[in-house]
Structure 1
Amino acid sequence: MPEIELPIITDRLVLRRFEAEDLERFHGYQSLPETARFLLRNELTKTKSMEVLGRYANFEFNQEGDWVCLAIEHKDKPGLLGEVVLKWLEGTGQGELGWILHPEARGHGIATEAAEAVMKLAFEKLAFHRIEAKLDALNDGSAGICKRLGMRLEATLVDNWHYKGQWATENIYAILDSEWRTRHHPWTRTIS
């Protein structure tokens, strides 16, 4: 597996490793019920935020089951805006994509831009075959991001998740490397 070169720079953003200085801002959004609404866990305590941030800062991405969680910040204005995650799923060349943003960063295309950069890494540098995103069916904001990324709704699993005391329907969005290439490099063609 090729080394992940950081930081990843986009038009407006820097995706980088988490640092100890991110703790206050990280806890600031991770402790909010609105942030945890569509997560399989509740909001984080300060102690749990420290623990999670430590794991994020010290990620390894060498084998199936590993994941990379990158801090998102504006290129011209330091300060944590949120995070974007790529998990290496079991099975050759498959990954799962996710994101969490500070409430102030939502609605500005930041998650889409960060996720697209991570998809580019997954498909063009890490040679992944397929990327998926799993969402609560009520999470319209993340569904919109998936659609803007060119992902298709691949499955709807009714009452598949039980979390926070209730059943939830899971939507799975996905994109293949061939679909990515067609969308981002339409002049190339796969020859079989």
Structure 2
Amino acid sequence: MTKLELPIHTDRLVLRRFEAGDLDAYHAYHSLPETARFLPREAKSYTQSMEMVGRYANFEFEKEGDWVCLAIEAADSPGLLGEVVLKWMPGCGQAEVGWSLAPEARGRGIGREAAGALLKLGFEELGFHRIDAKLDALNTASAALCDRLGMRLESTQMDKWHYKGQWATEVVYAILAEEWSARNAGA
């Protein structure tokens, strides 16, 4: 694996390490029930948000089991819009991608641009073979984002998770390195 070169710039975004100054904005959207709806835990307290921002600011990405969580910011105006995560999973060349956006960033193509940048990083710079996304089947916005990224629905696992007092069906979307290359040839 190569060392991560940060920040990552896209047409409209900057993906960077979290900083202490991101805490209030992070907490503002992670304290909302609508943000927590499809995450494993309830809406975050301020203390929990502080712990997460500290963890995200100090990540290492060197071996299986490591993960990177990058702050999403507009290139033309500072301010946290959300985060994207890349986890290095056990197994030869396997990774998982995820995202969470502030309400004002949703529906504007920001998730697609940020997650697409992490797929590019994972395949083109880090050499992963396969990257997947695991979501609650009721999370139709994230499923649509997976489709827009060129990921295919691989499985539906009924009542896979029990969280927040109910069973949830997990859907797994994935894309292989050669599919990514074919989709982005000439781009």
| TM-score over 0.5 (shorter chain) | yes
Matched, 1:102 2:105: no
Percent identity for Structure 1 against Structure 2: 68
Deviation at 1:185, TM superposition (A): 1.5
What is the match of residue 172 of structure 2? 172
What is the match of residue 79 of structure 1? 79
Show CA shifts across 1:94-144 (max 9, x none): 100000000110000000000000000000000000000001000000000
What is the match of residue 154 of structure 2? 154
What is the match of residue 46 of structure 1? 46
Deviation at 1:160, TM superposition (A): 0.6
Partner letter of residue 41 of structure 1? R
What SS class does the counterpart of residue 77 from structure 2 fall into? Answer: coil
Show CA shifts across 1:2-45 (max 9, x none): 00000100000000000000000000001111000001111110
Show CA shifts across 1:139-158 (max 9, x none): 00000000000000000000
What is the match of residue 115 of structure 1? 115
Deviation at 1:166, TM superposition (A): 0.4
Structure 2 unpaired stretches of 5+:
none
Matched, 1:183 2:183: yes
Task: Give the whole-Å Cα distance in 1 for the aligned partners of 2:162 and 2:114.
Answer: 29
Deviation at 1:87, TM superposition (A): 0.2
Partner letter of residue 163 of structure 1? Y
What is the match of residue 129 of structure 2? 129
What is the match of residue 35 of structure 2? 35
What is the match of residue 22 of structure 1? 22
What is the match of residue 145 of structure 2? 145
Partner letter of residue 93 of structure 2? G
What SS class does the counterpart of residue 84 from structure 2 fall into? Answer: strand
Task: Give the whole-Å Cα distance in 2 for the aligned partners of 1:95 and 1:43.
Answer: 26
Partner letter of residue 64 of structure 2? E
Deviation at 1:70, TM superposition (A): 0.1
Task: Give the whole-Å Cα distance in 2 for the aligned partners of 1:112 and 1:67.
Answer: 19
What is the match of residue 63 of structure 1? 63
Task: Give the whole-Å Cα distance in 1 for the aligned partners of 2:146 and 2:71.
Answer: 19
Structure 1 unpaired stretches of 5+:
188-192
Deviation at 1:186, TM superposition (A): 6.0
Deviation above 4 Å: which 4+ runs of structure 1?
A: none
Task: Give the whole-Å Cα distance in 1 for the aligned partners of 2:127 and 2:116.
Answer: 15
TM-score after normalising by structure 2: 0.99
Task: Give the whole-Å Cα distance in 2 for the aligned partners of 1:114 and 1:30.
Answer: 18
What is the match of residue 190 of structure 1? none
